[in-house]
A and B are shown apart, each in its own frame.
Chain A
Amino acid sequence: MQNGPTNGAQSSNGHRVVITGMGWVTPLGTQIDQTWDRLLNADSAIGQVSRFDADTCSTNFAAEVKGFDLKNHIGDRADAHADAGISTQFALAATQDAWTMAGMDQTPPDLMRTGIYLGAGEGVLDYDPFMAANIAGYNAESRSLDNETWARVAYDGLSPTMEVEQEPQLTSTHIAYEFGTMGPTLNCMTACAASTQAIGEAFEIIRRGDADAMIAGGCHSMIHPLGMTGFMRLTAMSTRRDDPSHASRPFDKTRDGFVMGEGAGILILESLESAKRRGANILCEVVGFGSTADAYRITDIHPDGKGGAGAMAAALEQAGIDPHATDENGRPLVHYISAHGTGTQENDKTESAGVRSVFGDLATEVPFSSIKSMMGHLIQAAGAVELMTCIQAVRTGIIPPTGNLNEVDPVCGLDHVPLEPRDENHRGGVDVCLSNSFGFGGQNDTICVRRFRD
């Protein structure tokens, strides 16, 4: 396991890492181009929850994936995964699409040196038998649970397969089973930062030579009773019940919380040598990854946004990009930041403060938008899907807007690309992007991607 030649990647002594495939399952669609168009149109995927009866919930809306069928992505092979949970099925579909885009079927990689790093979330509880056990087991007189009754009803009703499939690492097991990969395989759960972290760690695994290629990204669905309950109790979600399609309002003065989404985003990362050997089409290069902990409070983000700033600074340092420098036309070297931008009061304020502290006077000149305004917050899948929008920005030269941003909150006050996409092709397109993801409890991750130049 020797490190390879540097091939000119800046401030790194490992392999250059490129992205050659990507696939997503999102509330706005599963195809890359169509979903991208909907993002540029600032379409909203948010509506009434249909998965369960949420009418009496303070938040009764979400961004659901509709009309999904794994068979449309992997054909009859879907039968082998019929008992997998919904987020695992999202991930299998996204992996197949990424795998196909990367040309892995025609020119396969060395499967021994192809790994998986996901930020896959836990599966959905088997509600009916679980709730039945809780109700049957509760003794009203003693106001406590009679475990013997609980156990009888639970053993009787819970299905072994559905219980096992809730283990989050089993998503990567299904992918390995399907694609035959045998390289390093890990799953991380760093809340909303998970898939950004997974991609960053996968980048490091290839960079240091422990794998040639990695399937990386995340998947999650918390659109179920207790998933939504947890965030309602935290009062973290928007309660704009009368106008759900405008409920996700990152950076807006009237924002009142995030909107739950679901889905998967999977990317194929590989060493430049591997991509060239296979003759793959290179979408962009991964050049930096930063990971920090706030080490502040379980319930609050550090008010200066210093954890997020630390992650951005570390990613830029690894990429060899000076946030205070400009090109010959006075343009900052970072052309787009995909914000974590959840639409909670606290996140948007502290994240903006973090951007200001990293970019200083240039902060207001770096486009900084949040697609959560349109497709909600995909929780552990959010980072991967948002990194894919950065790659689309590099490919097309267009920056997606922040939807529903009618009046920028002065405490945010950056270049938030409100309502309309921005075409940057007149000044050379989009070369360098950052994608931010910050998790509950203070885990912060940033990835830096750059247009590929050999």
Chain B
Amino acid sequence: MRSHSVITGIGPISSLGVGPDAFWESLQSGSHAISPIESFDARGFRVRAAGEVRDIKIRDFVPKSYRKATKVMARDTELAVIAAKAAADDAGLKTRGSEDSDEGFEIQPARVGCQIGAGLIAAETEELARAVVTSQDDDGRFSMRKWGTENEGESGMNNLPPLWLLKYLPNMLACHVTIIHGLEGPSNTIMGAEASALLSIGESARVIERGSADMCFTGGAESRINPLGLIRWDYAGRLAPIDIDDNPADICKPYDSGSKGGLLGEAGGMLVIESESHAKNRGARAYARITGFGAAQTPRPYIPGSSALRTHDDIERGLSASMTLAMREANKRPEEIDAIFALGLGQPVLDGMELGAIREALGNPATIPPIVSLAHRTGNTMAAHAGLMTAAGALCLKNQSLPASSVVYGDPTPRNPLRTVMICSPSLGGQSGALVLESCN
């Protein structure tokens, strides 16, 4: 029998709100949080509304001594850092980063790991364009000769800050979090589009299980609400066009064949998980126990827009296999799954492939358990997605309540008591994963 991890801290940061309380309130109210993009001028883009995280300043979430370093943080990193702090506070930890508090459990740096799911971070076009325009040839095209440092006269690349590259390395999410909190254990940055956080949480549980750490900061963060990121995700066939006066609820409808497509979001979804014995010894409150993890690949995923891989499977085979593996490890039968926290992007082909996989993994029952999805309310939060959904599942188990307004498909009758839920995610590239969470009550 494998030793289990428990979730002792959650830090959901999304357009639905900052921190566990705001997140739980929004799960209960069923509020939507898609509105016209404010972080950049989105005129001319096919997507002009998204789920933006507002009213946060990164400076307020890092120790004073670290404020200077926030200059080299991309938005994705900011979201990870804020979510990690929220999760650490929620878990009652005292780390190098918690300067404002004398209370809390003092972590042992070498025994704390950090696995964060991340996405490809798009270069800031404003900053880059300002440098690029200095390097044009006579025809107004980008000139490498003028860009180079040995160019006579003014070099183009020297208009970029010296640390420019460090802003865009995906491992910077985990690097900043480990530096701020002093986490010296195993560290990883996992990239699997929407499955990134799920795979990170599963891998963190395995790191703890094999004894390489007592505790891990885990989850994911991502933002594509910027010009290049938005176009990339649009071109991946995952976004519906949306104007500023469109009603998002008319456009994105999870698991509905009449849905026009997905919405764009950004989020940080970080957790603190630890071995059950470690949590018990320090008297930590546990939301839920992670008792199963499965990961598998859909060999032929559906990537609309791309000509690189032309044929696709009829269902998300990897997702189905992941769910089966996770249930097997948790020793649960399909009928024991009380709710499923899934992706539900609102893109009909992808939703159909996802639902097909869920049905297959459950043995094609007449009714399937309630499915919770948030992508139509926060937008697709990609690498953060499963971090938010695991936080949602953990809150539902802790509070013994599955808010009806968050259930988008399946049997709407709430199960009482709520014992076992499953978090699952397919992804753009077919990488999939599933977790089984069980109540600690």
A interface, CB within 8 angstroms of B? 1, 52-58, 60, 80-84, 112, 115-116, 122, 127-128, 130-135, 137-138, 140, 143-145, 147-152, 154-155, 158, 160-161, 163-170, 172-174, 176-177, 180-191, 197, 201, 204, 208, 210, 225-226, 229-235, 291-299, 307, 310, 314, 439-443
Q: Is the CB of A189 within 8 A of B170?
A: yes
Nearest CB in chain A: distance from B297 CB, A = 4
Q: Is the CB of A229 within 8 A of B308?
A: no
Q: Is the CB of B430 within 8 A of A176?
A: yes
- The listed residue (A138, A182, A189) touching B191 by CB distance below 8 A is A189
Nearest CB in chain B: distance from A208 CB, A = 7
Q: Which residues of A contact B44 (CB under 8 A)?
A: 147-152
B56 at the interface (CB under 8 A from A): no
- The listed residue (A54, A176, A226, A292) touching B186 by CB distance below 8 A is A292
B interface, CB within 8 angstroms of A? 40-46, 69, 72, 109-110, 114, 118, 120, 123, 125-126, 128-130, 132-133, 136, 140-142, 144-151, 155, 157-158, 160-166, 168-172, 174-176, 178-179, 181-193, 199, 203, 206, 209-210, 212, 227-228, 231-232, 235-237, 295-301, 303, 305-310, 317-318, 321, 325, 328-329, 427-431
Q: Is the CB of A127 within 8 A of B150?
A: no
A138 to B161, CA, bound (A): 19
* Given A80-B309, A190-B171, A190-B188, A140:B133 Cβ within 8 A: yes
Nearest CB in chain B: distance from A160 CB, A = 4
A442 to B69, CA, bound (A): 15
* Given A154-B231, A190-B189, A443:B171 Cβ within 8 A: yes
- The listed residue (A137, A152, A204, A295) touching B210 by CB distance below 8 A is A204
A371 to B429, CA, bound (A): 33
Q: Which residues of B contact A132 (CB under 8 A)?
A: 141-142
- The listed residue (B46, B184, B228) touching A307 by CB distance below 8 A is B184
Q: Is the CB of B188 within 8 A of A166?
A: no
Q: Which residues of B contact A439 (CB under 8 A)?
A: 171
A232 to B235, CA, bound (A): 31
Q: Which residues of B contact A150 (CB under 8 A)?
A: 44, 125, 129, 227
Q: Is the CB of B192 within 8 A of A169?
A: yes
A-side binding surface: helix, strand, loop or mixed?
mixed
- The listed residue (B110, B149, B172, B296) touching A185 by CB distance below 8 A is B296
A374 to B10, CA, bound (A): 47
Q: Which residues of B contact A180 (CB under 8 A)?
A: 299
Q: A127's closest neighbor in chain B, by CB?
A: B142
Q: Is the CB of A232 within 8 A of B149?
A: yes
Sample (25) of A-B pairs whose CB atoms are under 8 Å apart: A53-B144, A115-B295, A128-B141, A130-B228, A148-B44, A150-B227, A151-B45, A163-B235, A167-B236, A169-B192, A170-B428, A173-B303, A182-B318, A185-B318, A190-B187, A197-B188, A201-B188, A210-B325, A293-B174, A293-B184, A295-B109, A296-B179, A298-B72, A441-B175, A442-B179
Q: Which residues of B contact A188 (CB under 8 A)?
A: 188-191
A231 to B160, CA, bound (A): 12
Given A174-B309, A295-B178, A441-B166, 12 additional A-B pairs, CB 8 A: A55-B145, A56-B145, A80-B309, A144-B126, A151-B43, A173-B301, A187-B431, A190-B189, A233-B165, A291-B212, A292-B187, A293-B175
- The listed residue (A81, A151, A230) touching B165 by CB distance below 8 A is A230
Nearest CB in chain A: distance from B161 CB, A = 7
Q: Which residues of B contact A53 (CB under 8 A)?
A: 144-145
Q: A227's closest neighbor in chain B, by CB?
A: B165
A98 to B235, CA, bound (A): 33
Nearest CB in chain B: distance from A194 CB, A = 8
Q: Is the CB of B129 within 8 A of A186?
A: no
A168 to B427, CA, bound (A): 13
Q: Is the CB of A134 within 8 A of B125?
A: yes
A210 to B2, CA, bound (A): 13
A169 to B157, CA, bound (A): 29
* Given A145-B125, A188-B190, A293-B184, A160:B72 Cβ within 8 A: no
* Given A167-B429, A229-B157, A298-B166, A135:B129 Cβ within 8 A: yes
Q: Is the CB of B231 within 8 A of A158?
A: yes
Q: Which residues of B contact A168 (CB under 8 A)?
A: 120, 170, 191
Nearest CB in chain B: distance from A266 CB, A = 16
Q: Is the CB of A58 within 8 A of B430?
A: no
